[in-house]
Structure 1
Amino acid sequence: MDSSHSVKESGDIVIPVRDVKSSKSSKGVHPVNIVSSTTKVDHVPHVAGWKRGVGIIDLILRICAIIATIAAAAVMGTTSQNLPFFTQLFQFQASYDDFPTFTFFLAGNAITCAYLAFSLPFSIVCIVRPHIVGARMLLLVFDTLALALTIAAASAAAAIVYLAHNGNPNTNWPALCQQFNEFCPRVSGAVVGSFLAVAILVVLVFLSAALLRSN
């Protein structure tokens, strides 16, 4: 409240003096909201940790795919069987290189295995720096190409293995596995290993796409 009092000056002149207290009403003054950035700061390490965990899974899956493709290529490349016919001078032989499809299968899995081995450093970089985009995009593109190559090789070889096991009476194609009882199980196992690598590559492609989408 305002208060006033009189001050007597010389000559008996009374000068009224008013003391004015400046007061600001709190009405109409909007409070300042201070938004804490703690939630956002805490969210960044959480996202980085999630991406780093997915990157570790990516690295483990790549190692598993390397094992699958190198095993498939090695088994196919060492598959051969001889069948004696009357004497040792006349023999039936079955080898992987007698079938162009099996040769393509061997080359396709070997190429995929070599690519996966070279991709390991890039996968490690993505673990150390989970927010990097260039390396992850590179892995996504080449993983897709490796997937296409591997699934083509495995599918073509699977068709030949099916004919070797069952034959085709309409075209007079005999079931070779009735005679070559060692050759067929080995090529069948190689095809199974290649399809296992295909499944792993599918997961790798989805993981890379998910990580890129979250950036």
Structure 2
Amino acid sequence: MMKSGDAAIDVPESSAVAKGKAPLIPPPKEQKSGMKKGLGIFDFLLRLAAIIAALAAAATMGTSDETLPFFTQFFQFEASYDDLPTFTFFVIAMALVAGYLVLSLPFSIVTIVRPNAVAPRILLFILDIVALTLTTAAGAAAAAIVYLAHNGNPNTNWLAICQQFGDFCQKVSGAVVASFVTAVVFMIMILLSGFALKKH
């Protein structure tokens, strides 16, 4: 109980509390949201890189064709990707992967606009694994044929043809390398998706 003679001391409220200002450190929820948005942007850029690599693989393999010039027009040796079912499968598979990556871009944009949305990330995570499997299968099968084209197999009398069809072998080898680049980018995207889903 205060007496009439006592002096009252007024303590002013802090300016941050009085004016209702937020603290300088954002709450943990906003930090997570910002990190997920950054992961979404990185995922979008990786998808663009994967599209370029997959299209390069399909186009390079699809245009691999060489005819040896020192034979007559009635008797020529020609090497083309559609002579081998493995290379045909490679072109179809990489074209499908490139098409999927283009269709996945809107979902990747959703993860940027709505970083806390779970459904688009789970969908991309599952479909990326399927696309990675298809890319790996096509690349590995084509790599086996490219190895035989470069080195042959004496046990089965399969001759190396790259000494004669140098341009053809160079193109198919480049296509296989591009497919493995696509597979590596898919692995990074899957790891990022798993990391983002773990934060939920």
SS of 2:75's equivalent? strand
1:196 aligns with 2:165: no
Aligned equivalent of 1:11: none
Correspondences of 1:56-205 after superposition (within 5 Å): 56-84=41-69, 86-205=71-190
SS of 2:116's equivalent? coil
Amino acid at match of 1:186: K
Amino acid at match of 1:93: E
Quote the Cα distance in structure 1 between the aligned partners of 2:71 and 2:144. 31
Per-residue CA deviations over 1:149-193 (Å, capped at 9, x if unaligned) read 000000000000000000001110000101001100000000000
Aligned equivalent of 1:213: 198
Quote the Cα distance in structure 2 between the aligned partners of 1:189 and 1:97. 17
- Overall identity of the aligned pairs, in %: 56
Q: CA deviation at 1:54?
A: 0.8
Amino acid at match of 1:185: Q
Amino acid at match of 2:145: I
User: Which consecutive residues of structure 2, in runs of 5 or more, have no partner in the other structure?
Assistant: 1-21
Quote the Cα distance in structure 2 between the aligned partners of 1:141 and 1:84. 48
Length, aligned pairs only = 179
Correspondences of 1:25-40 after superposition (within 5 Å): none
Quote the Cα distance in structure 2 between the aligned partners of 1:184 and 1:93. 12
Aligned equivalent of 1:7: none
Quote the Cα distance in structure 2 between the aligned partners of 1:39 and 1:205. 34
Amino acid at match of 2:154: P
Q: CA deviation at 1:40?
A: 9.3
* Deviation larger for 184-193 or 82-91: 82-91
The structure that has the greater radius of gyration is: 1
User: Which consecutive residues of structure 1, in runs of 5 or more, have no partner in the other structure?
Assistant: 1-36
Quote the Cα distance in structure 1 between the aligned partners of 2:127 and 2:72. 51
Large movers: runs of 4+ above 4 Å? 37-41
> Which structure has more RCO (C-alpha within 8 Å, separation ≥ 6)?
2
Quote the Cα distance in structure 2 between the aligned partners of 1:148 and 1:102. 17
Aligned equivalent of 2:36: 51
